A and B are shown apart, each in its own frame.
Chain A
Amino acid sequence: MRALKSIGLRVGRRLAASVPALLGVVVFTFVLMRVLPGDPAVFFASGPNAGQAEIQMIREQMGLDRPVHEQLIRYFAEIGRGQLGRSMTTGQAVVADLRERLPASLELTLAALVLALGFAIPLGILAALRPNSALDHVVRFVCSMGVCVPTFVSGLLLIYVFYVVLGISPDPTGRIDIFAASPPDITGFLLIDFAITGDWAGWYAAAGQLLLPACTMALFVLAPLARMTRASMLAVLGSDFIRTARSIGLSHWKVIVVHGLRNALLPVITITGIVFSTMLGANVLVEKVFSWPGVGSYALDALLGSDYAPVQGFVLMMALAFVVVNLLIDVLYGIADPRVNVE
């Protein structure tokens, strides 16, 4: 009960503290979009030979003829109503667009993160148990390759090997085979929706589509996770309480897992939060390569098209995601480490 209350208190305090940061993000992107060269009204006018009057009309329609501070106040009012404006490219409300595309990005990112953790933690532990062994060097090499090869290169490489040469992976475009029926939209996460409806053939197809982009992404973040696990595991294994655990005659694996790993994972939790947030934004290249209908490619298209509202909406959403992820990590950390609750 005491622990729950303390967690609740911390969550509340963190949320309150993040409000100014979010406001700052909104203002900053808003102003930035306004000072960037390019006039959206010109861009969205019906054709290259649209008249001055037509452009002026669009400008007035979009409210671009008002002073910037007035536009900003209107934007805030809109946020207050739960709206983020309308995208000129898709013609839909930005909120609706994001809601449609966010699950795709989240599904990809989460799958990649699970994959990355699934490989990084065991590899990190193995490397830490045999520091400077051949295995350690192999892990280091794989990690270095993962970071230094850009995702669009490794993505294309994976496509070439598994789709073109071996032919074991499905056509790498989109979340689902274009001829397959998509599941009813329940959560937006295809794997979950297929599982709920019990359509396992669909589930496998979607998972197959997901695998390559997720691997590409996972390869990219393998390094920070594995290296962190290795470093913190090495530090923990050298600490006094591991010696104590050995001195009372505990078996090797119990020393490593119960006393070593649990302590070593604490810093990995923090890194995982940072990695997740970065992935959510850095997805854009992978989304482009695999024609993944996610928020990253959506925002990039909007940015290139001088479409203000989606970019602003995307940045605000990312900031919110950052806050939420950090909060989640904080709570997790508080549960995992009893010392945190002291303050």
Chain B
Amino acid sequence: MSLLQVQDLRVSFSTRRGVVEAVRGISFDLPAGRTLAVVGESGSGKSVTAYAVTGLLDRAGRIAGGKILFKGRDITHARESELRALRGAAISMVFQNPRAALNPIRSIGRQVMDALSAHNSLTGREKREKALDLLRAVLIRDPERRFDAYPHELSGGMCQRVMIAMAMACEPALLIADEPTTGLDVTTQKTVMDLLAKLVAERDMAMILITHDLGLAAQYCENVAVMQEGVLVEQAPAAQLFQRPQHPYTQRLVAASPTPRSTVQELVGEPPAPPIIRPAPAPGAAPLLEVHRLTKLYDGFKAVDDVSFTLRAGESLGLVGESGSGKSTISRMVCRLIDHSGGSVVFDGHDIGDVKARDFHASRFRREIQLVFQDPHESLNPRFTAFDAIARPVTRLLGITDSRELTGRVEEAAERCGLPRNLLGRFPHQLSGGQKARVGIARAIAVGPRLLVLDEPTAALDVSVQAVVLKLLDDLRRQDGLAFLFVSHDLNVVRMMCERTIVLRQGQVVEQGDSAAIFAAPSDAYTRELLTAIPHFDPVAA
């Protein structure tokens, strides 16, 4: 008998614009002890499905139809008290963004004890002992000492382990993990997922893994269900699904996911582009950017420690590393958004490090070095229309105030970024994630820079949108001969986008060289560790 059966489930939300159906009739079975991945892009209804199963839908959401059977019992419209008895004891959840998912002013030990005492009556000492056992089980070192720590004192990966300990506390039969590793580094992701998989297997639990990462789904689950706009379009064993995707959406999703061999063109289904051939630089000519022994201190802590590299005109260089590796700090120093503590930044033969970061806006090099930010949602002023956002740097840096000329320039930049003219009057909240990313890129290229610094430009985007944006960036680089400094934690993306790559760890360069060479045969152990930690489904191999 199935542990969990979902039959023709419909979930709707009442919003200001009327009732919206987030889940439109999905069905699946999950036998006890098995693992199922639910994959899909944002808005596909995958998380809503999970919340419907556990009865944690927020006030606006409600189950509009269908059935949810848990161990054969219909829990679709179970009373809150019945659901409460199930939650934690029979079905538990692990959430994304672990630090926010834990109570910030309650020690982690107490929170684990809360989970224990929700369904058991234990004495104080028993609770403490069991909580310590659980913390040990999720591989938290020195749990006695960590018992009284608060979430902000632990790393994201540690917090997620605590969350897992809480979910495991009452030995439920089903664990639902909702994007459990989003926001964690790849190596942390691997340890957390390995731990989760091990505990689930050991305790003979069933797991539903909700994720946007096809590699993660393939590596940790037996079956995969693909959701698109509230509908389950395809369901199959993992290997089969990725090797022979049947539904066009699955095919598109699989194609758009970066793999160790893909190219930017392949992601969007285009023939491969020829390699960029640049005229050999004149002998003795200075490179476009020369970073020499760059150092950044924060209160005596070396965030960036003696980093040197060069970038020729039209070249693209990737900076990869985990959080705390200093990659974003380097990019900000190169853009002159923050001052460095030591070393030099030479752009086109001029030491731009001499200009203070706060005065750099007036430098003639400001227009030459432009930035594309990480989060397209946060980095646009909510009170500026797309047009204003693109026009602002044009008026400030190029001094163009004539409205005809300005409009022409903005529209040209927008068009090159694939942003339709009729969207220019819209505000950020009226644009999709991909459109906002395009505004961010158009804003950067509108002033005709020679160096574009991209700080995780696609980290907040869905894979299919990411594919299109990466292709756009690659095209722009080919057409304009732009140089890229590309910062990312995603090694596959960097490999596709960059000719050369620098691997950073704790502010220091671990390895640098030709991208293809580094990825084919990493010479440093840390690079190898990073590469093996990337989950992949590998549709070509097998």
Contact = CB atoms under 8 A, between A and B. Distances in A.
Contacts of A247: 54, 56, 87-88, 92-93, 95, 167
B92 A339 contact: no
B84 A251 contact: yes
Contact of B152 (A254, A336, A342): A342
Given A245-B103, A258-B106, A339-B152, 19 more contacts: A239-B100, A241-B100, A241-B104, A247-B56, A247-B87, A247-B88, A247-B95, A248-B87, A248-B92, A248-B118, A248-B170, A249-B86, A249-B118, A252-B80, A258-B114, A262-B105, A337-B104, A337-B105, A339-B104
Nearest to B115: A248
B217 interface: no
Interface residues of A, number: 25
A258 B113 CA distance: 13
A101 interface: no
A46 B166 CA distance: 81
B112 to A, nearest CB: 9
Interface residues of B, number: 32
Contacts of B106: 258-259, 262
B89, B97, B114 pick with most chain A CB within 10 angstroms? B114
A244 B54 CA distance: 12
Contacts of B119: 249
A244 B166 contact: yes
Nearest to B106: A259
A246 B88 CA distance: 9
A244 B85 contact: no
Interface in B342-393: none
Contacts of A248: 87-88, 92, 114-115, 118, 166-167, 169-170
Contacts of A336: 105
A114 B167 CA distance: 40
Nearest to A247: B93
Given A244-B166, A249-B118, A263 B152 contact: no
A258 B110 CA distance: 11
A107 B106 CA distance: 35
Nearest to B112: A248
8 contacts: A243-B56, A245-B103, A247-B87, A247-B88, A247-B92, A248-B114, A248-B166, A258-B106
A248 B54 CA distance: 10
Contacts of B95: 240, 243-244, 247
A338 interface: yes
A248 B111 CA distance: 10
B122 interface: no
Interface string A224-253: 000000000000001111011111111110
A263 B105 contact: yes
B255 interface: no
A244 B88 CA distance: 10
Nearest to B102: A241
A249 B84 contact: yes
B101 interface: yes
A342 B102 CA distance: 18
Contacts of A254: 114
Nearest 9 A/B pairs, CB to CB: A249-B88, A248-B88, A249-B87, A240-B100, A248-B115, A249-B118, A241-B103, A247-B93, A240-B101
A241 B88 CA distance: 14
Nearest to A243: B56
A47 to B, nearest CB: 66
B168 to A, nearest CB: 10
Nearest to B54: A247
Of B103, B106, B150, chain A has the most CB atoms within 10 Å of the CB of B103
A255 to B, nearest CB: 10
Nearest to A339: B152
Contacts of A250: 84, 88, 114, 118
B163 interface: yes
A249 B116 CA distance: 10
A142 B349 CA distance: 70
Contacts of A243: 56, 95, 101
A263 B169 CA distance: 24
Contact of A249 (B89, B100, B102, B104): B89
B243 to A, nearest CB: 35
Interface in B382-414: none
Nearest to B149: A338
Contacts of B89: 249
A246 B87 contact: yes
Nearest to B100: A240
A160 B173 CA distance: 66
Interface string B146-167: 0000101000000000010011
A338 B150 contact: yes
A339 B106 CA distance: 10
B51 to A, nearest CB: 9
Interface in A289-343: 336-339, 342
A171 B27 CA distance: 74
Most buried by B among A249, A336, A338, A339: A249
A130 B119 CA distance: 27
Nearest to A265: B105
B438 to A, nearest CB: 30
A289 B106 CA distance: 46
